[in-house]
């Protein structure tokens, strides 16, 4: 028969229940905090307060050796529970797993908050750049670079793209976390998204139709980038079709880096500003019928070959076309005409509404 009084027995029973309740709140995978109780070469004991004593064994100490090296008795430590009650009665812990899980949690928070953070670029490959994000390697694809840092080369110039990316190693870029997936160990960051957030705010100061002054900051096959003079943080883009009323084969022929230009804002969408140079120019097609008439003999310079024929530069900032069918085929046309060559042509038709002047080569 028990010698304990009913009141004492009830107290002990309650204490056992409370202890069980405390341990029931602890699960494998939980992140916990404790203080270093004892540090040795084979194990690290952690005082986990009401939960008891945790242990980090040698293998885990090796995995987190950089962190462990600086720890002293009494220091706070974060860990991940990997066993609630092991053979020695300890709560088995992992420091490296806790660090990784905490890093992924912080990365997810950065994504949800859409926070812009500065990161130093640590490396590159053919697809983009790498940077450390809270201990996780983040990847910045080439497509997620800002207009300022996007390689200003043709898509077939892979060597030059790699050279452009290498120049960014060591630089600090402002980025946003846009994709977090711990299961696939994927963390994607974007410089473009970080700047678009700023651009959306800055775009309030600009409107469609407004004329701005800017400096050409980059020229590519598909157009040119313009940094605004009044606010260098803002950058707009001129598509090749908005450079001139003429067809431009290569924007580098007419636009140079650091050249000062005036352009009209054609569109503001999703934080991106589209510009037009030709909107500020007189449209030569409006007077094309005054300058050229059917049957006229004119001199023109062969500008470029196209699938349907050859493009010919004419006076008054206009262009005409001579068709491949007049020659029998593309090889025959290229034998007869040379890029940059000045030849005489006969005007067959003038259609300003279609922006078309049809020409026929005048035989010598």
- pLDDT tens digits along 312-345: 999 999 999 999 999 988 999 999 999 999 999 9
CATH number corresponding to 285-361: 2.40.50.140
206-280: CATH class: mainly beta
Torsion sign across C-alpha atoms 70, 74, 80, 82: positive
Does the pLDDT of residue 5 top 70, yes or no?
no
pLDDT band at 274 (very low <50, low <70, confident <90, very high): very high
Domains 206-280 and 285-361 share a fold: yes
**Do the Cβ atoms of 74 and 45 come closer than 8 Å?**
no
For domain 114-197, give the CATH number.
2.40.50.140
* Dihedral angle of Cα 284, 276, 157, 118, to the nearest 10 degrees: 170
State in Å, rounded, how far the first CA of the chain is from the last one. Answer: 130
Tens-place pLDDT, residues 89-142 = 899 998 877 777 778 888 999 999 888 899 999 999 989 999 999 888 999 999
Q: Helix (H, G, I), strand (E, B), or coil: what is residue 222?
A: coil
Instruction: Identify the band that residue 201 occupies on the pLDDT scale cut at 50, 70 and 90.
Output: low
How far is it, in rounded angstroms, from Cα 133 to Cα 23? Answer: 34
Q: What is the CATH number of domain 6-100?
A: 2.40.50.140
Q: d(Cα 286, Cα 32) in Å, to the nearest integer?
A: 75
Q: What local confidence, expressed as pLDDT, does residue 2 receive?
A: 46
Length of the chain: 364
Q: Where are the domains of the chain?
A: 6-100, 114-197, 206-280, 285-361
Are 176 and 189 in contact, with CB atoms under 8 Å apart? yes
Question: To 5 degrees, how large is the angle CA 292–CA 293–CA 294?
Answer: 135
> What percentage of residues in the chain have a pLDDT greater than 70?
88
């Amino acid at each position: 028969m028990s010698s304990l009084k009913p009141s004492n027995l009830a107290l002990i029973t309650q204490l056992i229940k409370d202890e069980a309740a405390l341990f029931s709140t602890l699960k494998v995978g939980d992140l916990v905090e404790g203080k270093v109780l004892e540090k040795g070469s084979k194990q690290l004991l952690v005082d986990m307060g009401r939960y008891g004593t945790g242990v980090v064994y040698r293998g885990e100490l090796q995995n987190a050796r950089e962190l462990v090296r600086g720890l002293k008795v009494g220091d706070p430590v974060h860990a991940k529970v990997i066993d609630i009650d092991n053979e020695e009665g300890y709560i088995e812990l992992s420091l490296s797993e806790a660090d990784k899980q905490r890093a992924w949690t912080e990365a997810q928070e950065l994504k949800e908050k859409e926070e812009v953070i500065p990161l130093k670029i640590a490396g590159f490959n053919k697809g983009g750049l790498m940077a450390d994000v809270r201990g996780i390697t983040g990847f910045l694809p080439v497509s997620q670079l800002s207009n300022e840092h996007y390689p200003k080369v043709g898509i077939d110039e892979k060597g030059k793209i790699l050279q452009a990316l290498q120049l960014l190693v060591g630089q600090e870029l402002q980025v946003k976390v846009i994709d977090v997936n711990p299961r696939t160990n994927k963390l994607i960051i974007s410089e473009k998204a970080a700047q678009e957030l700023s651009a959306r705010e800055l775009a309030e100061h600009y409107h469609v139709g407004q004329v701005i002054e800017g400096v050409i900051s980059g020229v590519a096959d598909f157009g040119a980038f313009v940094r605004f003079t009044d606010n260098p943080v803002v950058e707009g883009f001129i598509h090749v079709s908005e450079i001139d009323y003429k067809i431009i084969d290569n924007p580098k022929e007419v636009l140079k880096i650091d050249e000062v230009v005036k352009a009209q804002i054609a569109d503001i969408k999703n934080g991106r500003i589209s510009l037009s140079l030709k909107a500020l120019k007189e449209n030569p097609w409006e007077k094309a019928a005054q300058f050229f008439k059917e049957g006229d003999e004119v001199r023109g310079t062969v500008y470029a070959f196209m699938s349907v024929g050859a493009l010919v530069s004419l006076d008054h900032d206009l262009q005409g076309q001579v068709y491949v069918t007049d020659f029998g085929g593309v090889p025959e046309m290229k034998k007869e005409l040379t890029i940059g060559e000045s030849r005489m042509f006969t005007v067959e038709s003038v259609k300003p509404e279609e922006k078309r002047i049809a020409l026929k080569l005048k035989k010598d």
